[in-house]
Amino acid sequence: MIAFPNCFMVGLLEGLEDECGQAWSIVMYRCGEWWGKRQMQRMERILGEHFGKPLHELPTAQVHATVLEGWATEGWGRLKLDLENLQHGFVFASVSSSPITEAFLNSELDARKRPVDFLTAGALAGMFSQASDSELIGYQIACVTQGAEANEFLIGQKEVLEDVQNMVKKGMSAAEILASLTQAH
């Protein structure tokens, strides 16, 4: 694990925003996605060696607990996963103590009351893409910078989540977005 001081994270985010403009969010998402896929590959290898069988053959509860613990150990905050909506084609995730959000809250960066944790959205999408062997996307639907208690994300197939970004831009709450998705599917 590599720990970065908050001032480094703020400098990184400010530099990306200065150099990339609005594309900073895409850069952060892609970096997170790359990391998430590599992290899940590493977990698959380590757990496979430890238990003598592939990750997909392990009990779901065991994999779930390992992912949550690994997330915290790597310094990404506290992750909670809600698999209740798998039948609707998506997973709900909540992250508290996110280092990205903390950097925004403790700096002069303009969060403009919008989701800002694109790195985590990409990391979650990458991890679940690797674990499911399919291309998934992730969207942040609530953010601490907007007054939420934790950052909230949806991870799923593009066709299931295609309207989520517009719902967030319209100012819909996480509860409204979840209700819309569960009624639509």
Query: Which of 2, 1, 9, 8 is closest to 101 using CA atoms?
Result: 9
Lowest mean pLDDT among 9-13, 30-34, 47-51: 9-13
What does the domain layout of the chain look like in residue ranges? 6-184
Two tokens, residue 15: 């530099």
Helix or strand (DSSP H, E) at 111: none
Task: Kindly tell me if the per-residue pLDDT of 184 is higher than 90.
Answer: no
pLDDT tens digits for range 118-137 = 999 999 999 999 999 999 99
Distances (CA, A) of 171 to 97, 111, 143, 164: 23, 15, 12, 11
pTM above 0.95, yes or no: no
pLDDT tens digits for range 104-120 = 787 777 666 678 899 99
* Class for the domain spanning 6-184: alpha beta
The beta strands (E) that lie in 6-130 are given as 78-82, 90-96
Confidence of residue 9 (pLDDT cuts 50, 70, 90): confident
β partners of residue 41: none
Q: Which long-range contacts (CB under 8 A, 24 or more apart) does 130-133 make?
A: 130/36, 130/37, 130/40, 130/41, 130/44, 131/40, 131/44, 131/55, 131/56, 131/63
Query: Which of 82, 102, 101 is closest to 93 using CA atoms?
Result: 82
β partners of residue 160: none
